[in-house]
């Protein structure tokens, strides 16, 4: 999974203006983030039409604030630069529940 370097909202939108992207907001200290990380390769494969980008919430605290990201891990789906849905996984859902929630997010 590619890492989105420190950026602001306008620059991030410019980077993802073409195609489908899933932003995965996370932090090293977050136990719920560590819980879902081993499942991420399978989740990425399941949603292969999206390019997944890891966003370190602490490094991108201003971006997270601009986007209203209040909890992590959070997933935010974009299509051609437009947000199409978001999902917060802060209550330690299983891989299966996360995949079901992401499916609802993008459909």
| Tokens (6 digits) for 90 | 């802060």
Per the residue annotation, which of 22, 30, 40, 63 is the catalytic one?
30
8 catalytically annotated: no
Per the residue annotation, which of 33, 36, 64, 69 is the catalytic one?
33
33 catalytically annotated: yes
DSSP labels, the chain: -EEPPS--HHHHHHHTSSSEEEEEEE-TT-HHHHHHGGGHHHHHHHTTTSEEEEEETTTTHHHHHHHT--SSSEEEEEETTEEEEEEE-TT---HHHHHHHHHHHH-
Residues assigned a catalytic role: 30, 33
């Amino acid at each position: 999974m590619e890492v989105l370097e420190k950026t602001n909202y306008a620059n991030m939108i410019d980077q993802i203006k073409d195609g489908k992207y899933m932003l995965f907001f996370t932090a090293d200290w977050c136990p719920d983030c560590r819980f879902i990380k081993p499942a991420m390769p399978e989740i990425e494969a399941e949603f292969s039409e999206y390019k997944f980008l890891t966003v370190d919430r602490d490094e991108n605290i201003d971006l997270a604030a601009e986007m209203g990201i209040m909890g992590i891990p959070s997933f935010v789906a974009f299509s051609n630069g437009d947000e199409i849905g978001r999902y917060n996984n802060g209550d330690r859902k299983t891989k299966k529940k996360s995949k079901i929630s992401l499916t609802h997010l993008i459909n």
